[in-house]
Amino acid sequence: MHLKDKVALVTGAAQGIGKALAQSLLEKGCKVALVDQNAEVGKSCKDAFDRQFDAQMTIFLPCDVTNENNLKDTFKKTVSHFGHLDILVNNAGINNESDWERTIQTNLIALIRGTYIGLEYMKPENGGNGGAIVNIASLAGLLPAPQQPVYSASKHGVVGFTRSLAMASTIGNYGVRINAICPGFVNTPILQSIDKEENLGQFSAYKENIKDMMKFYGILDPNVIAEGLIKILEDDKLNGEIMKISTKQGIHFQEYTLPSGHHTKKLESVL
Ligand SMILES: NC(=O)c1ccc[n+]([C@@H]2O[C@H](COP(=O)([O-])OP(=O)(O)OC[C@H]3O[C@@H](n4cnc5c(N)ncnc54)[C@H](O)[C@@H]3O)[C@@H](O)[C@H]2O)c1
Protein backbone atom coordinates (compact mmCIF):
# COMPACT_ATOMS: atom_id res chain seq x y z
CA MET A 1 0.00 0.00 0.00
CA HIS A 2 1.28 3.44 -0.88
CA LEU A 3 0.73 5.43 2.31
CA LYS A 4 0.61 9.02 1.12
CA ASP A 5 -2.87 10.57 1.60
CA LYS A 6 -4.29 7.41 3.19
CA VAL A 7 -6.62 7.79 6.18
CA ALA A 8 -5.74 5.90 9.37
CA LEU A 9 -7.52 5.45 12.68
CA VAL A 10 -5.24 4.58 15.62
CA THR A 11 -6.71 3.63 19.00
CA GLY A 12 -4.78 4.36 22.18
CA ALA A 13 -2.92 7.01 20.19
CA ALA A 14 -2.40 9.58 22.96
CA GLN A 15 0.88 8.18 24.27
CA GLY A 16 3.31 5.24 24.18
CA ILE A 17 3.26 2.88 21.20
CA GLY A 18 0.08 4.39 19.71
CA LYS A 19 1.64 7.86 19.56
CA ALA A 20 4.79 6.45 17.88
CA LEU A 21 2.60 4.58 15.35
CA ALA A 22 0.64 7.77 14.59
CA GLN A 23 3.90 9.72 14.18
CA SER A 24 5.21 7.20 11.64
CA LEU A 25 1.95 7.30 9.67
CA LEU A 26 2.05 11.12 9.60
CA GLU A 27 5.66 11.05 8.39
CA LYS A 28 4.47 8.88 5.48
CA GLY A 29 1.79 11.44 4.59
CA CYS A 30 -1.26 9.72 6.11
CA LYS A 31 -4.09 11.60 7.79
CA VAL A 32 -4.65 10.18 11.25
CA ALA A 33 -7.63 10.02 13.62
CA LEU A 34 -6.06 9.90 17.10
CA VAL A 35 -8.47 7.95 19.30
CA ASP A 36 -8.03 7.67 23.07
CA GLN A 37 -10.05 7.68 26.28
CA ASN A 38 -7.58 10.08 27.90
CA ALA A 39 -8.76 13.47 26.58
CA GLU A 40 -6.08 15.50 28.35
CA VAL A 41 -3.10 13.47 27.07
CA GLY A 42 -4.85 13.06 23.70
CA LYS A 43 -5.16 16.83 23.24
CA SER A 44 -1.51 17.44 24.13
CA CYS A 45 -0.54 14.69 21.69
CA LYS A 46 -2.54 16.46 18.94
CA ASP A 47 -0.87 19.81 19.92
CA ALA A 48 2.57 18.19 19.65
CA PHE A 49 1.72 16.81 16.18
CA ASP A 50 0.36 20.23 15.12
CA ARG A 51 3.80 21.72 15.78
CA GLN A 52 5.32 19.15 13.38
CA PHE A 53 2.62 18.55 10.76
CA ASP A 54 -0.27 20.52 9.22
CA ALA A 55 -3.10 20.61 11.79
CA GLN A 56 -5.47 19.25 9.10
CA MET A 57 -3.54 15.96 9.10
CA THR A 58 -4.90 14.86 12.49
CA ILE A 59 -8.10 14.87 14.47
CA PHE A 60 -8.31 13.89 18.14
CA LEU A 61 -11.43 11.90 19.05
CA PRO A 62 -11.94 11.10 22.74
CA CYS A 63 -13.35 7.58 22.96
CA ASP A 64 -13.50 4.66 25.37
CA VAL A 65 -13.14 1.75 22.94
CA THR A 66 -15.04 -0.54 25.30
CA ASN A 67 -18.16 1.60 24.83
CA GLU A 68 -19.88 0.27 21.68
CA ASN A 69 -21.79 3.45 20.80
CA ASN A 70 -18.76 5.62 21.49
CA LEU A 71 -16.63 3.40 19.24
CA LYS A 72 -19.16 3.35 16.37
CA ASP A 73 -19.53 7.11 16.61
CA THR A 74 -15.73 7.53 16.46
CA PHE A 75 -15.47 5.59 13.18
CA LYS A 76 -18.40 7.60 11.78
CA LYS A 77 -16.74 10.90 12.75
CA THR A 78 -13.42 9.80 11.23
CA VAL A 79 -15.03 8.94 7.91
CA SER A 80 -17.18 12.06 7.80
CA HIS A 81 -14.12 14.21 8.62
CA PHE A 82 -11.56 12.61 6.28
CA GLY A 83 -13.92 11.10 3.67
CA HIS A 84 -12.98 7.43 3.98
CA LEU A 85 -10.89 4.92 5.97
CA ASP A 86 -7.90 2.91 4.67
CA ILE A 87 -5.97 1.82 7.77
CA LEU A 88 -7.10 0.74 11.23
CA VAL A 89 -4.59 0.16 14.02
CA ASN A 90 -6.17 -1.49 17.05
CA ASN A 91 -3.60 -0.54 19.66
CA ALA A 92 -5.48 0.51 22.84
CA GLY A 93 -4.70 -1.93 25.61
CA ILE A 94 -4.30 -2.25 29.37
CA ASN A 95 -2.47 -4.54 31.78
CA ASN A 96 -4.80 -5.23 34.70
CA GLU A 97 -5.01 -8.65 36.34
CA SER A 98 -7.10 -7.24 39.17
CA ASP A 99 -9.92 -5.94 36.96
CA TRP A 100 -9.34 -8.79 34.53
CA GLU A 101 -12.75 -8.49 32.90
CA ARG A 102 -11.81 -4.95 31.83
CA THR A 103 -8.57 -6.34 30.37
CA ILE A 104 -10.55 -8.75 28.18
CA GLN A 105 -13.08 -6.00 27.33
CA THR A 106 -10.33 -3.60 26.25
CA ASN A 107 -7.65 -5.84 24.72
CA LEU A 108 -9.90 -8.36 22.98
CA ILE A 109 -13.61 -7.49 22.81
CA ALA A 110 -13.11 -3.85 21.81
CA LEU A 111 -10.43 -4.90 19.29
CA ILE A 112 -12.80 -7.41 17.69
CA ARG A 113 -15.62 -4.86 17.61
CA GLY A 114 -13.32 -2.19 16.16
CA THR A 115 -12.15 -4.61 13.48
CA TYR A 116 -15.73 -5.45 12.44
CA ILE A 117 -16.74 -1.78 12.34
CA GLY A 118 -13.57 -0.93 10.40
CA LEU A 119 -14.28 -3.66 7.86
CA GLU A 120 -17.75 -2.24 7.24
CA TYR A 121 -16.15 1.03 6.15
CA MET A 122 -13.27 -0.52 4.20
CA LYS A 123 -14.89 -3.38 2.27
CA PRO A 124 -15.28 -2.52 -1.43
CA GLU A 125 -18.73 -4.19 -1.41
CA ASN A 126 -19.81 -1.38 0.97
CA GLY A 127 -18.24 1.36 -1.14
CA GLY A 128 -14.87 1.32 0.67
CA ASN A 129 -11.46 1.17 -1.02
CA GLY A 130 -10.18 -1.91 0.81
CA GLY A 131 -7.30 -1.40 3.23
CA ALA A 132 -5.32 -2.84 6.08
CA ILE A 133 -5.93 -3.60 9.75
CA VAL A 134 -3.05 -4.05 12.18
CA ASN A 135 -3.71 -5.40 15.65
CA ILE A 136 -1.22 -4.77 18.44
CA ALA A 137 -0.85 -8.02 20.39
CA SER A 138 2.27 -8.92 22.43
CA LEU A 139 4.88 -11.68 22.79
CA ALA A 140 2.61 -12.59 25.74
CA GLY A 141 0.15 -13.59 23.00
CA LEU A 142 2.52 -16.34 21.88
CA LEU A 143 4.14 -17.38 25.16
CA PRO A 144 2.79 -17.97 28.66
CA ALA A 145 3.12 -14.99 31.05
CA PRO A 146 2.76 -16.41 34.57
CA GLN A 147 2.41 -12.98 36.20
CA GLN A 148 -0.20 -11.79 33.69
CA PRO A 149 -2.42 -14.77 32.76
CA VAL A 150 -5.42 -12.71 31.64
CA TYR A 151 -3.31 -10.20 29.70
CA SER A 152 -1.65 -13.19 28.03
CA ALA A 153 -5.06 -14.77 27.28
CA SER A 154 -6.33 -11.52 25.76
CA LYS A 155 -3.28 -11.28 23.48
CA HIS A 156 -3.46 -15.00 22.49
CA GLY A 157 -7.05 -14.13 21.53
CA VAL A 158 -5.84 -11.26 19.36
CA VAL A 159 -3.38 -13.54 17.55
CA GLY A 160 -6.03 -16.23 16.90
CA PHE A 161 -8.62 -13.68 15.80
CA THR A 162 -6.16 -11.95 13.47
CA ARG A 163 -5.01 -15.17 11.77
CA SER A 164 -8.56 -16.49 11.42
CA LEU A 165 -10.11 -13.30 10.12
CA ALA A 166 -7.23 -12.80 7.68
CA MET A 167 -8.13 -16.19 6.17
CA ALA A 168 -11.81 -15.18 6.09
CA SER A 169 -10.77 -12.01 4.29
CA THR A 170 -8.92 -14.01 1.63
CA ILE A 171 -11.78 -16.47 1.17
CA GLY A 172 -14.47 -13.76 1.24
CA ASN A 173 -12.55 -11.18 -0.84
CA TYR A 174 -12.83 -8.44 1.80
CA GLY A 175 -10.06 -6.48 0.09
CA VAL A 176 -8.57 -5.86 3.55
CA ARG A 177 -5.30 -7.31 4.87
CA ILE A 178 -5.27 -8.17 8.58
CA ASN A 179 -2.01 -8.69 10.49
CA ALA A 180 -0.74 -8.41 14.06
CA ILE A 181 2.39 -7.20 15.82
CA CYS A 182 3.73 -8.92 18.95
CA PRO A 183 6.28 -6.71 20.68
CA GLY A 184 8.40 -7.65 23.70
CA PHE A 185 8.74 -5.06 26.48
CA VAL A 186 8.47 -1.50 25.15
CA ASN A 187 9.41 1.69 26.95
CA THR A 188 5.95 3.23 27.57
CA PRO A 189 3.85 4.25 30.61
CA ILE A 190 2.16 0.78 30.65
CA LEU A 191 5.34 -0.63 32.24
CA GLN A 192 4.50 1.35 35.40
CA SER A 193 1.48 -0.94 35.88
CA ILE A 194 3.90 -3.66 37.00
CA ASP A 195 4.64 -1.76 40.22
CA LYS A 196 0.98 -1.24 41.08
CA GLU A 197 -0.93 -3.71 43.21
CA GLU A 198 -4.22 -2.42 41.76
CA ASN A 199 -3.00 -3.67 38.37
CA LEU A 200 -1.22 -6.92 39.17
CA GLY A 201 -3.66 -7.99 41.91
CA GLN A 202 -2.82 -11.45 43.29
CA PHE A 203 0.24 -11.57 40.99
CA SER A 204 1.93 -8.49 42.47
CA ALA A 205 4.02 -10.80 44.67
CA TYR A 206 5.86 -11.81 41.47
CA LYS A 207 6.57 -8.33 40.14
CA GLU A 208 10.32 -8.84 40.64
CA ASN A 209 10.14 -11.77 38.20
CA ILE A 210 8.77 -9.42 35.53
CA LYS A 211 11.54 -6.93 36.27
CA ASP A 212 14.12 -9.73 35.94
CA MET A 213 12.56 -10.65 32.58
CA MET A 214 12.82 -7.00 31.47
CA LYS A 215 16.52 -6.97 32.38
CA PHE A 216 17.07 -10.25 30.53
CA TYR A 217 15.06 -9.46 27.38
CA GLY A 218 15.72 -5.69 27.27
CA ILE A 219 13.26 -2.91 26.53
CA LEU A 220 12.39 -1.75 23.02
CA ASP A 221 11.93 1.82 21.84
CA PRO A 222 8.36 2.50 20.57
CA ASN A 223 9.85 3.66 17.23
CA VAL A 224 10.82 0.06 16.43
CA ILE A 225 7.16 -0.97 16.65
CA ALA A 226 6.34 1.92 14.30
CA GLU A 227 8.95 0.58 11.86
CA GLY A 228 7.19 -2.80 12.00
CA LEU A 229 3.83 -1.18 11.31
CA ILE A 230 5.11 0.60 8.20
CA LYS A 231 6.68 -2.65 6.92
CA ILE A 232 3.32 -4.45 7.22
CA LEU A 233 1.37 -1.62 5.61
CA GLU A 234 3.73 -1.17 2.66
CA ASP A 235 3.98 -4.88 1.80
CA ASP A 236 0.74 -5.88 0.07
CA LYS A 237 1.68 -9.58 0.22
CA LEU A 238 1.29 -9.73 4.00
CA ASN A 239 -2.01 -11.06 5.35
CA GLY A 240 -2.55 -13.14 8.49
CA GLU A 241 1.07 -12.64 9.53
CA ILE A 242 2.20 -12.37 13.13
CA MET A 243 5.18 -10.03 13.36
CA LYS A 244 7.39 -10.47 16.42
CA ILE A 245 9.65 -7.71 17.68
CA SER A 246 12.34 -8.32 20.28
CA THR A 247 15.59 -6.64 21.28
CA LYS A 248 17.57 -9.77 20.42
CA GLN A 249 16.03 -10.63 17.03
CA GLY A 250 14.53 -7.32 15.93
CA ILE A 251 11.59 -7.47 13.51
CA HIS A 252 10.78 -11.00 12.34
CA PHE A 253 7.77 -13.22 11.75
CA GLN A 254 6.29 -16.15 13.67
CA GLU A 255 6.56 -19.32 11.65
CA TYR A 256 3.62 -21.71 11.76
CA THR A 257 3.39 -25.31 10.60
CA LEU A 258 0.19 -24.32 8.83
CA PRO A 259 1.09 -21.43 6.56
CA SER A 260 -1.39 -18.59 7.01
CA GLY A 261 -3.74 -17.77 4.16
CA HIS A 262 -4.53 -21.41 3.35
CA HIS A 263 -8.03 -22.59 2.69
CA THR A 264 -10.09 -25.04 4.72
CA LYS A 265 -9.46 -27.98 2.37
CA LYS A 266 -5.70 -27.63 2.77
CA LEU A 267 -6.10 -27.37 6.55
CA GLU A 268 -8.15 -30.56 6.60
CA SER A 269 -5.32 -32.43 4.95
CA VAL A 270 -2.97 -31.53 7.80
CA LEU A 271 -5.25 -31.97 10.81
N1 LIG B 1 4.70 -1.43 26.43
C2 LIG B 1 4.87 -2.73 26.31
O3 LIG B 1 5.78 -3.32 26.93
C4 LIG B 1 3.97 -3.52 25.40
C5 LIG B 1 4.44 -4.77 24.95
C6 LIG B 1 3.63 -5.53 24.09
C7 LIG B 1 2.40 -5.04 23.71
N8 LIG B 1 1.97 -3.83 24.17
C9 LIG B 1 0.65 -3.40 23.73
O10 LIG B 1 0.77 -2.18 23.03
C11 LIG B 1 -0.44 -1.43 23.13
C12 LIG B 1 -0.12 -0.02 23.56
O13 LIG B 1 0.45 -0.06 24.85
P14 LIG B 1 1.45 1.03 25.43
O15 LIG B 1 2.62 0.29 25.94
O16 LIG B 1 1.63 2.15 24.48
O17 LIG B 1 0.59 1.48 26.70
P18 LIG B 1 0.20 2.90 27.28
O19 LIG B 1 -0.49 2.66 28.56
O20 LIG B 1 1.40 3.79 27.27
O21 LIG B 1 -0.81 3.46 26.18
C22 LIG B 1 -2.06 2.88 25.98
C23 LIG B 1 -3.03 3.95 25.50
O24 LIG B 1 -4.29 3.30 25.33
C25 LIG B 1 -5.29 4.12 25.90
N26 LIG B 1 -6.43 3.28 26.32
C27 LIG B 1 -6.46 2.33 27.27
N28 LIG B 1 -7.71 1.85 27.40
C29 LIG B 1 -8.48 2.52 26.51
C30 LIG B 1 -9.86 2.49 26.18
N31 LIG B 1 -10.71 1.68 26.82
N32 LIG B 1 -10.31 3.30 25.20
C33 LIG B 1 -9.46 4.15 24.56
N34 LIG B 1 -8.15 4.25 24.85
C35 LIG B 1 -7.67 3.44 25.81
C36 LIG B 1 -4.62 4.80 27.09
O37 LIG B 1 -5.32 5.98 27.49
C38 LIG B 1 -3.22 5.07 26.53
O39 LIG B 1 -3.15 6.33 25.90
C40 LIG B 1 -1.31 -2.20 24.13
O41 LIG B 1 -2.24 -2.98 23.43
C42 LIG B 1 -0.31 -3.08 24.85
O43 LIG B 1 -0.91 -4.24 25.39
C44 LIG B 1 2.73 -3.06 24.99
In a domain, 57, yes or no: yes
Candidate from 17, 89, 96 with most ligand 1 atoms within 8 A of CB, to mutate: 17
pLDDT, tens only, 119-170: 999 999 999 999 999 999 999 999 999 999 999 999 999 999 999 999 999 9
The answer to whether 18 and 10 have CB atoms below 8 angstroms apart is yes
In a domain, 1, yes or no: no
In a domain, 192, yes or no: yes
CA of 16 to the centre of ligand 1 (A): 7
CA of 191 to the centre of ligand 1 (A): 10
Structural domains of the chain, count: 1
Q: Nearest C-alpha to atom 8 of ligand 1 is from which residue? A: 138
pLDDT (0 to 100) of residue 268 = 56
In a domain, 182, yes or no: yes
The answer to whether 122 and 167 have CB atoms below 8 angstroms apart is no
- Assess whether pLDDT exceeds 60 at residue 260: no
CATH code: domain of residue 49: 3.40.50.720
In which domain, by residue range, is 175 found?
A: 7-270
Mean pLDDT of 43-54: 98
Atom of ligand 1 nearest to the CA of 187: 1
Percent of the chain with pLDDT over 70: 95
Closest C-alpha among 221, 235, 219, 120 to residue 177: 235
In a domain, 2, yes or no: no
Predicted structure pTM score: 0.96
Active site residue 151: yes
**Separation between Cα atoms, residue 22 and residue 12, nearest integer Å:** 10
In a domain, 119, yes or no: yes
Closest C-alpha among 182, 185, 255 to residue 213: 185
pLDDT, tens only, 20-35: 999 999 999 999 999 9
In a domain, 86, yes or no: yes
Separation of first and last alpha carbons in the chain: 34
The H or E element spanning position 134 is: strand 131-136
